[in-house]
Structure 1
Amino acid sequence: MAYGHSAHVDSFSRDHLPARETWPELLDTSPSYPDVLNCASVLLTEAVERFGAEQVCMVDDAGTWTYGELADTVDRLARVLTEVYELVPGNRVLLYGSNSPWLVACWFATVMAGGVAVTVAPDLRSKELATIAGLSSAGLALCDAGGRSEVLAAGVAGMTLACFGDDDPENLCGLARRAEPGFAGVPTAADDVALIAFTSGTTGSPKGCMHFHRDVLAVCDTFSTQVLAPRSSDVFAGTPPLGFTYGLGGLVLFPFRAGARTVFPSYPGPAGLLEAIPKHRISVLFTAPSAYRALLDHIADVDLSSLRRCVSAGEHLPVRTWQSWYEATGLRIIDGLGATELLHIFISAADDDIRPGATGRVVPGWLAKVVDENGQEVPDGTPGRLAVRGPIGCRYLYGDRQSEYVKYGWNITGDTYVRDAGGYFWYQGRSDDMIISAGHNISAVEVESVLLTHPAVAEAAVVGKPDDELGQVVAAYIVIRTGHLPGAELATELQDHVKRSIAAYKHPRHIDFIKKLPRTATNKLQRYRLREGE
């Protein structure tokens, strides 16, 4: 598609895209969309037309929303945003709150009105909000009642605040109810920016990733349609915040594209899922490996018969977790590798295509290969850097890090993988997490996987620790299970366990027992904090 016409009056997003020659190449076989496209209008309008206005789309403690009710609310909200808050196409809107139907409605209204949605996780605090609002130059913040104080404390000059979700008749909910219906979605270009997603900070500094209207539909029409294969009768639920693209796709975009419904549990995390699954007959579950491990300890008396799809992403899925879940439930977890830079999952496998321990194969509509430092493809069975190309490409806000992610026309994800002869990709670790000790390349993930097979280990994280003689040595941080005692005796037992399982030089020479591993809001492990000694 030619990159030309724009409906944005405020050209900030387009002005801050990286130079066109630094973008990755897109596949010629990418899904085709019209030049004028508003993804919010398409998702809502087509859902109402195909599945009916009375089809339920969202459920929470306050009640149910049908597709017709949501479409009407979004129209009225969009009118409030444009007429009361003077939003013009291209303005950035900060969306801050816990997962809820009103947060979804605000996302749709923002994009419908031609705005650029900047959705952030609900656990971010004022300093982090100020950073993201400043980077995106957001002039309007929409938040729930619980987030009001943090947004105000952020003190972003020139940013207007509007709240939803309480009984104030002058808040967004009240204004929307009194607004005129029938808002016409702004005819944005397919390559106008629809959202800026910020990475979750596994390396310490979030990066803004700009995605177009056509990108939003492309993730629906590749991973969701081709691998997940949802049905209009499905009931979705999960733990990832809508502020991260894993949650946005799994809890909003994919169910809406399929005419399904999403349930927002009474409270977040595994505990909320344990209540919601039998109560609402959840059939499609999106969460992280650590949540599946947490659920395993409590599902013996829980009715999980409604589940048919369990999706995992955000961090590596250990084979032990996959196997334990399968043995307990009979369900095969659909693992997936995605990236904020590429919006959602591009390597995965479902049903009989799953190979436990492998992330999967390339999702239809994408290409992937394993390359060396010079971008040359390496033979199957050889570790290397993962390179990806598809219908979506990395476009960083400001573009100062663009050359780190895009090389030779490919997106270089920062993951080290091995591809086998069957086309399956096996995760070895983040490229910067490979440990080099006495000339040996040691995969942190491999050592973690072995540690997790010991009955005393609930969670494990492995990093390289500087060493004068060996360059680096393996250091392990362990969260132990109830009933086991930390100490030198257990540490020695774990070291011997690793030596018996894999090459002895890979064993952790340092073991620390800690109460909790540092993670992002999407449960991604923050190894940099362990390396820095936090």
Structure 2
Amino acid sequence: MTNNMTDYEKERQCFQWDVPEYFNFATDVVDKWAGNPDKLAMLWVDEHDREVKRTFKDFKDRSCQLANLLSEKGVQPGDVVILIMPRYIEWWESFLACLRVGAIVSPGTVQLTAKDLAYRIKTARAVALITDEKTAAKVDEIKDIIPTVKFKVVVGEPREGWLHYQSSIEKYPAQFSAVKTKSTDGAILFFTSGTTGNPKMTLHTHASYPYAHKVTGKYWLDLTPDDLHWNLSDTGWGKAAWSSLFGPWHQGAALFVHHEKRFNTKRCLEVLQKYPITTFCGAPTNYRMLVLEDLSQYKFPTLRSCTGAGEPLNPEVIEIWKNHTGLTIRDGYGQTETVLVVGNFPCLPVKPGAMGKPAPGFEVEVIDDAGNVLPPGKEGDIAIRVTPARPAGLFKEYWQEPERTQRCFRGDWYITGDRAVKDEDGYFWFVGRADDVILASGYRIGPFEVESALIEHDAVAESAVVASPDDLRGEIVKAFVVLAEGYQPSPQLVKELQDHVKKVTAPYKYPREIEFVDALPKTVSGKIRRVQLREMEWAKKGKKR
């Protein structure tokens, strides 16, 4: 544990959002650390063990060169620039360059299709794209229907109709007079996957993400300038901004970046053992896969802190990881719309399976439909107080959708759309997305608790629990189960898993139906898409929820 927070209650009491009128992460944070020309900002390693080291000064210089190019090509403050590439160093350079010119960065994953790209470019009215070769090929398929795009930049091999990143920026000076951005100006536009329809556009200002993630980096990731921090996130989703950019660099920590095409558990453990990584952050899916390996074969001599976010982490996984590494994975909670708002902090005891307590700078409660704070033990909506003062780490709006934005607020509160229970000690316990909660014979059942019970059984590698329609009970609990190696589906195993859940949790929560599957549908960020399974289940039975 560092000295970033030693007294939780005192820190929360004393904390104040001291947001400056003007803020730009590139000039106010990166350039500050670049004052020491030798300060390491990144150790980048690819699948072939090729290593590249970059200082903050390198990132300052390269992003200034690209900013000059963007400016010369006509990118104005407030213009949207789409940024899509794998874990290339150029992703970080490009993000900083966009902030320097006052543009709004819109990150995306390399898994997007040509149709997805067309929707995003047209909806955001993007003026430029900076991307990798594979994505560039998809963009060329739709080039005739994206008239707002003034120019396109490709990283990698040169391509006709595109500016070549590497050779183009070399022509520009490594100094750039950055736009003086207000903290309230738009900075980032995330497309977040909705459960239905097209993704919504989440707009963040320079204060709400680039500035406010200092809370994430300092208190939850617990970083210092001496750390080497590895976050497994894809560059296309919000967690990369949390843990691969703003949080760590606020603290002057160096990033460890492993460029690989797909997550490989053995390779991940080997890398964790080989390099002097001190802090590690992954999605629950990553940890669930890692604990299926023989962890006794690995030693992580420099590792001091492990965190997880994206969805709650099952207590069983936390226990296995601790037994082998001596480290407790500290869960954290937030959304694309927020920075870290609830977490397990190093100075607090961890209750395995709990979300933790509210972060400094946020008043978070469990409330009812009328906006009243509920007592401990009562399930309700997770809400963040926004009056009298709105906290810095909250998105500005769903862009161009004022009504959708308004629906997120109830009286003095921002409603996250997630359900939880708060205990007597002030810890939050996740129940599920409001849409995911199962109503069976009058009982409310959260899928996470059933999934956590299932994963305690040796036969279960992963599971997803959803509501399935039932004429008698309204809804029943149905589990989709991915089996661990060496196990085969059978009626006997179904019965065994049902009995196991009855013993581990309240008997009425057991899955009345179990379906064995090879894999679970997931978002790019690794979250299980329960909504897809639920819709499939209801359609199969000819019902509507």
Amino acid at match of 2:56: Y
Shift of 1:270: 4.2
Q: Is the 8 A contact 1:111 1:117 kept in 2?
A: yes
Q: Give SS of 1:265's match.
A: strand
1:398 aligns with 2:400: yes
Give the distance between the partners of 2:431 and 2:301, measured in 1 at CA. Answer: 34
Which of 497, 500, 513 is equivalent to 1:497? Answer: 500
Q: Give SS of 1:432's match.
A: coil
Q: Kindly tell me: are residues 35 and 462 of structure 1, through their superposed partners in 2, closer, same or farther at Cα, counting changes over 3 Å?
A: same
Which residue number corresponds to residue 541 of structure 2? none
Q: Is the 8 A contact 1:314 1:522 kept in 2?
A: yes
- Structure 1 stretch displaced more, 474-483 or 283-292: 283-292
Which of 263, 269, 289 is equivalent to 1:269? Answer: 263
Shift of 1:73: 0.5
Give the distance between the partners of 2:448 and 2:288, measured in 1 at CA. Answer: 17
- Structure 1 stretch displaced more, 246-255 or 518-527: 246-255
Q: Kindly tell me: are residues 201 and 396 of structure 1, through their superposed partners in 2, closer, same or farther at Cα, counting changes over 3 Å?
A: same
Amino acid at match of 1:42: D
Q: Is the 8 A contact 1:196 1:208 kept in 2?
A: yes
Which residue number corresponds to residue 435 of structure 1? 438
Q: Give SS of 1:180's match.
A: coil
Give the distance between the partners of 1:180 and 1:282, measured in 2 at CA. Answer: 34
Which residue number corresponds to residue 157 of structure 1? 146
Give the distance between the partners of 1:218 and 1:89, measured in 2 at CA. Answer: 18
Amino acid at match of 1:210: L
Q: Which has the higher contact order (CA 8 A, sep 6+)?
A: 1
Q: Kindly tell me: are residues 313 and 203 of structure 1, through their superposed partners in 2, closer, same or farther at Cα, counting changes over 3 Å?
A: farther
Give the distance between the partners of 2:381 and 2:192, measured in 1 at CA. Answer: 20
Amino acid at match of 2:342: I
1:294 aligns with 2:283: no
Shift of 1:29: 6.3
Q: Give SS of 1:178's match.
A: coil
- Structure 1 stretch displaced more, 164-173 or 131-140: 164-173
1:45 aligns with 2:31: yes
Give the distance between the partners of 1:506 and 1:180, measured in 2 at CA. Answer: 64
Q: Kindly tell me: are residues 120 and 330 of structure 1, through their superposed partners in 2, closer, same or farther at Cα, counting changes over 3 Å?
A: same
Which residue number corresponds to residue 22 of structure 2? 36
Shift of 1:197: 1.3
What percentage of residue pairs aligned between the two structures are identical?
A: 30
Shift of 1:30: 4.6
- Structure 1 stretch displaced more, 282-291 or 202-211: 202-211
Give the distance between the partners of 1:287 and 1:200, measured in 2 at CA. Answer: 20
Which residue number corresponds to residue 100 of structure 2? 112
- Structure 1 stretch displaced more, 166-175 or 379-388: 166-175
Which residue number corresponds to residue 446 of structure 1? 449
Give the distance between the partners of 2:198 and 2:516, measured in 1 at CA. Answer: 27
- Structure 1 stretch displaced more, 366-375 or 277-286: 277-286
Q: Kindly tell me: are residues 184 and 347 of structure 1, through their superposed partners in 2, closer, same or farther at Cα, counting changes over 3 Å?
A: same
1:408 aligns with 2:423: no
Which residue number corresponds to residue 129 of structure 1? 117
Which residue number corresponds to residue 55 of structure 1? 39
Which residue number corresponds to residue 241 of structure 1? 234
Which of 190, 195, 205 is equivalent to 1:197? Answer: 190
- Structure 1 stretch displaced more, 433-442 or 500-509: 500-509
Q: Is the 8 A contact 1:201 1:520 kept in 2?
A: no
Which residue number corresponds to residue 252 of structure 1? 245
Q: Give SS of 2:398's match.
A: coil
Give the distance between the partners of 1:55 and 1:427, measured in 2 at CA. Answer: 40
Q: Give SS of 1:131's match.
A: helix
1:368 aligns with 2:364: yes
1:80 aligns with 2:69: yes
Q: TM-score, normalised by structure 2?
A: 0.88
Shift of 1:75: 0.6
User: What value does the CA root-mean-square deviation take over the aligned residues?
Assistant: 2.0
Q: Is the 8 A contact 1:447 1:498 kept in 2?
A: yes
Q: Aligned runs of 1:468-487 on 2, under 5 Å? A: 468-487=471-490
1:65 aligns with 2:54: yes
Q: Is the 8 A contact 2:42 2:255 kept in 1?
A: yes
Amino acid at match of 1:528: V
Amino acid at match of 1:506: K
Q: Is the 8 A contact 2:78 2:104 kept in 1?
A: yes
Q: Is the 8 A contact 2:229 2:278 kept in 1?
A: yes
Q: Aligned runs of 1:163-242 on 2, under 5 Å? A: 163-166=154-157, 171-201=164-194, 205-242=198-235
Give the distance between the partners of 1:205 and 1:435, measured in 2 at CA. Answer: 25
Q: Kindly tell me: are residues 183 and 352 of structure 1, through their superposed partners in 2, closer, same or farther at Cα, counting changes over 3 Å?
A: closer
Q: Kindly tell me: are residues 376 and 95 of structure 1, through their superposed partners in 2, closer, same or farther at Cα, counting changes over 3 Å?
A: same
Amino acid at match of 1:310: C
Give the distance between the partners of 2:137 and 2:510, measured in 1 at CA. Answer: 47
Give the distance between the partners of 1:471 and 1:89, measured in 2 at CA. Answer: 53
Q: Is the 8 A contact 2:213 2:340 kept in 1?
A: no
Q: Aligned runs of 1:454-533 on 2, under 5 Å? A: 454-533=457-536
Q: Give SS of 1:392's match.
A: coil
**Runs of 4+ that moved beyond 6 A:** none
Shift of 1:215: 1.8
Gaps of 5+ in 2: 1-12, 45-49, 386-390, 538-545
Amino acid at match of 2:152: L
Shift of 1:256: 1.4
Which of 380, 383, 392 is equivalent to 1:387? Answer: 383
Shift of 1:204: 5.8
- How many aligned positions are there? 504
Q: Is the 8 A contact 1:102 1:165 kept in 2?
A: no
The Cα offsets for residues 442-498 of structure 1, whole Å up to 9 and x where unpaired, read as 121111111111111111111001112211111110001111111212111111212
Shift of 1:76: 0.6
1:92 aligns with 2:87: no
Shift of 1:276: 2.6
Which residue number corresponds to residue 316 of structure 1? 312
Give the distance between the partners of 1:164 and 1:385, measured in 2 at CA. Answer: 44
Gaps of 5+ in 1: 1-26
Which residue number corresponds to residue 359 of structure 1? 355
Give the distance between the partners of 1:480 and 1:466, measured in 2 at CA. Answer: 24
The Cα offsets for residues 21-43 of structure 1, whole Å up to 9 and x where unpaired, read as xxxxxx99652232122222212
Q: TM-score, normalised by structure 1?
A: 0.90
Give the distance between the partners of 1:364 and 1:174, measured in 2 at CA. Answer: 45
